[in-house]
Structure 1
Amino acid sequence: MRALLVVNPVATTTSVRTREVLTHALASDLKLEVAATEHRGHARELARRAAEDESVDIVIALGGDGTANEVVNGLLHHGPDPERLPRLAVLPGGSTNVFARALGLPNDAVEATGALLDALHTGSERTIGLGLASGTPGSRDAEVPGRWFTFCAGLGFDAGVIGRVERQRARGKRSTHALYVRQGLRAFARHPHGERGPITLLRPGHDPVEELVLSIVCNTAPWTFFGNRPVYAAPRASFDTALDVMAISKLSSPGLTRYVTQLLMSSPERGPQGKHVVSLHDETEFTLQSQVPLPFQLDGDHLGVRTSVTFTGVRRALRVIV
């Protein structure tokens, strides 16, 4: 069985020695080719070539959620075709590894490699749904290329926090949960409290949902992890359904405290609640549009600002070894 291992050499939680151990273990069971990424977007290029090479059976992403996202987008460059495309495997090497953990993998790269080898021996795999974010026809972002995401997207406040974190990382700061908390508080301090939100949610056949401040799109649950604690913004989201949305129409100081508490105490049965919370489940297509350009993120990767994004939930998009 031929496999391509796409390695992010600067992944947060794997050392050179660890990567060598994982590579040796995988090579004992697979005809393995190893490719280290050299720049942003390289993992996508490598996975696209593998998808176009009919002799590659598996593409393994070793890195964080950004690496996994790039590999997924490379595999789906020509669109979803689960029966034809190589299967995907993910080994966690980032600071949070939401996608790998949502698939049920251990958060340790060595343990996850053992689980992957066991899954290969038993033929354990599943076909998962994914989200696709595209430019909205007729909007200023109409020509923005579509991009797949594995677990979440966001337009507004949460994407702004991610953008602030990425700027701090570019200055040499380490990606930690404390860094996210600090940047979240600083972003909130600059947020115009009590004002109407600029985001409108549009769905075919439904009335618009207007004046939203924050919008989170989930393809699975949990939405993220705070250390070892799973955080559920949309508890019913699943790789087996389309997309879920959790949005907030007002973000005051008391409201922020309430929602943060609810998120930290969330569970597979209960997420954020309240009169300013909008929750939608299993939505196949909808659009988030804003009166002003807002920060946008996919799978924890800040992608600049957008005024309109159309989301599509695609069931059974890709086979994954688990």
Structure 2
Amino acid sequence: MGTVPPMRALLVVNPKATTTSERSRDVLVRALRSEVDLTVEYTLRRGHAAALCRAAAESGVDVVVTLGGDGTVNEAVNGLMNADAALAGRGATPAYRLPALGVVPGGSTNVFARALGLPRDWADGTSVILDGLRDGRHRVIGLGRADDRYFTFTAGIGLDAAVVRRVEQARLRGRTSTPALYVRSMVAQFLSGEDRKSPPLSLERPGESVESELSTIIIQNTAPWTYVGDRPINPNPQASFDHGLDVLAVRRLKVSSTTRTVTQMASLKGDPHGREVLRLHDQAEFAVVSTRPQAFQLDGDYLGERQKVHFASVPQALRVIC
């Protein structure tokens, strides 16, 4: 009898990952090479991780591992999902047609990895992946899709995305991404007064009445929405990789009601509510339409301005080693 060939794996490394060093990357490579036939690629530009992962999936790689933050994970997921059409017949759902995904946290926040219950430390995260490879352990999760782009944990239109835009602009000026930077950016954006008097957003669902005059909308594919340091922020505590999408919308950004909503989101229980709050659970699809261009983000990555985005839940999308 012949020996079973080792699993083929691709490691995608973001060399700008903020919490890893060249030494830690070398340790990770050696550890993975002890278990799989490994190819290592370093991202060179925006979109490179997506191209690498799509090519890997189409070539029959068994596992894709990312070392980076949520942006690297998002690109990898989009690369994998965009390869799915070429893999018809390999399985009943994308999760069993596509390579499994392993995530080693290397960014400043790592919301996706932490939502999966993975360790924050890259060394401990590597151990989880190695154990999962040996034991064949994985979890099947659903994704969200915004038009033709997939997301793992969150999307946002309005205030949420405008804050992400401010943070990215600050980072381009050399600032470090910290919880304090996000808080200052949120306060500055809120005080700018944009969209406080004439909320531009509407939410349209099949067979339901339109929800209009919304100022900002947060969409979640899992909980929490994000973290401030070690504290999870939970606009929609029931959101889950195992269900459809959850929505939190704020109607008017009044100082008193918005302060109350933010305080509720930051509490241990989460569960924001009130006259200005709209929440929807386990949604299969909907569209967000705006009377004027609005900031738009996916998985904490600012993607410009939009006036209409169609959102859908994509169940049974990926196998994740955890």
TM-score by length of 2: 0.93
Other-structure match for 1:115? 128
The aligned amino acid for 1:213 is S
Q: Distance in 1 between matches of 2:288 and 2:122?
A: 36
- Whether the aligned pair in 1 keeps the contact of 2:287 and 2:309 (CA below 8 Å) is yes
Q: Is 1:88 the counterpart of 2:94 in the alignment?
A: no
Q: Is 1:291 the counterpart of 2:304 in the alignment?
A: no
Match of 2:157 among 155, 161, 169: 155
Q: Distance in 1 between matches of 2:277 and 2:28?
A: 44
Match of 1:72 among 74, 77, 80: 77
Q: Is 1:41 the counterpart of 2:52 in the alignment?
A: no
- Look up the SS of the partner of 2:123 in the other structure: helix
Other-structure match for 2:316? 316
- Whether the aligned pair in 2 keeps the contact of 1:156 and 1:295 (CA below 8 Å) is yes
Deviates more, 1:239-248 or 1:191-200: 191-200
TM-score by length of 1: 0.93
Residue correspondences, number: 308
- Whether the aligned pair in 2 keeps the contact of 1:266 and 1:272 (CA below 8 Å) is no
String of CA shifts for 1:71-107, please: whole Å, max 9, x gaps.
0000011446222211111111001000011111001
Q: Distance in 1 between matches of 2:18 and 2:257?
A: 33
Q: Distance in 1 between matches of 2:235 and 2:123?
A: 29
Other-structure match for 1:200? 202
User: Equivalences for 1:1-322 in 2 at 5 Å?
Assistant: 1-54=7-60, 56-79=61-84, 81-134=94-147, 146-192=148-194, 194-267=196-269, 270-322=270-322
Give the superposition deviation at 1:196: 3.2
Q: Distance in 1 between matches of 2:73 and 2:116?
A: 12
Q: Distance in 2 between matches of 1:159 and 1:275?
A: 23
The aligned amino acid for 2:229 is G
- Whether the aligned pair in 2 keeps the contact of 1:203 and 1:285 (CA below 8 Å) is yes
Give the superposition deviation at 1:193: 7.1
The aligned amino acid for 1:212 is L
Q: Distance in 2 between matches of 1:66 and 1:78?
A: 19
Deviates more, 1:113-122 or 1:300-309: 113-122
- Look up the SS of the partner of 2:177 in the other structure: coil
Other-structure match for 1:142? none
Gaps of 5+ in 1: 135-145
String of CA shifts for 1:135-174, please: whole Å, max 9, x gaps.
xxxxxxxxxxx10000000000010000011011111111
- Whether the aligned pair in 1 keeps the contact of 2:111 and 2:227 (CA below 8 Å) is yes
Q: Distance in 2 between matches of 1:225 and 1:24?
A: 31
String of CA shifts for 1:24-58, please: whole Å, max 9, x gaps.
1111111111100000100001001001101x100
Q: Distance in 2 between matches of 1:84 and 1:254?
A: 49
- Look up the SS of the partner of 2:117 in the other structure: coil
- Whether the aligned pair in 2 keeps the contact of 1:193 and 1:252 (CA below 8 Å) is no
- Whether the aligned pair in 1 keeps the contact of 2:55 and 2:83 (CA below 8 Å) is no
The aligned amino acid for 1:161 is V
The aligned amino acid for 1:172 is G
Give the superposition deviation at 1:261: 1.2
Note closer, same or farther for the CA distance 1:14–1:187 as it changes in structure 2 (3 Å cut). same
The aligned amino acid for 2:207 is G
Deviates more, 1:72-81 or 1:198-207: 72-81
Gaps of 5+ in 2: 1-6, 85-92
- Whether the aligned pair in 2 keeps the contact of 1:91 and 1:109 (CA below 8 Å) is yes
Give the superposition deviation at 1:255: 2.0
Q: Distance in 1 between matches of 2:180 and 2:116?
A: 25
- Look up the SS of the partner of 2:95 in the other structure: coil
Q: Distance in 1 between matches of 2:302 and 2:233?
A: 20
The aligned amino acid for 2:290 is S
Q: Distance in 1 between matches of 2:26 and 2:271?
A: 40
The aligned amino acid for 2:145 is L
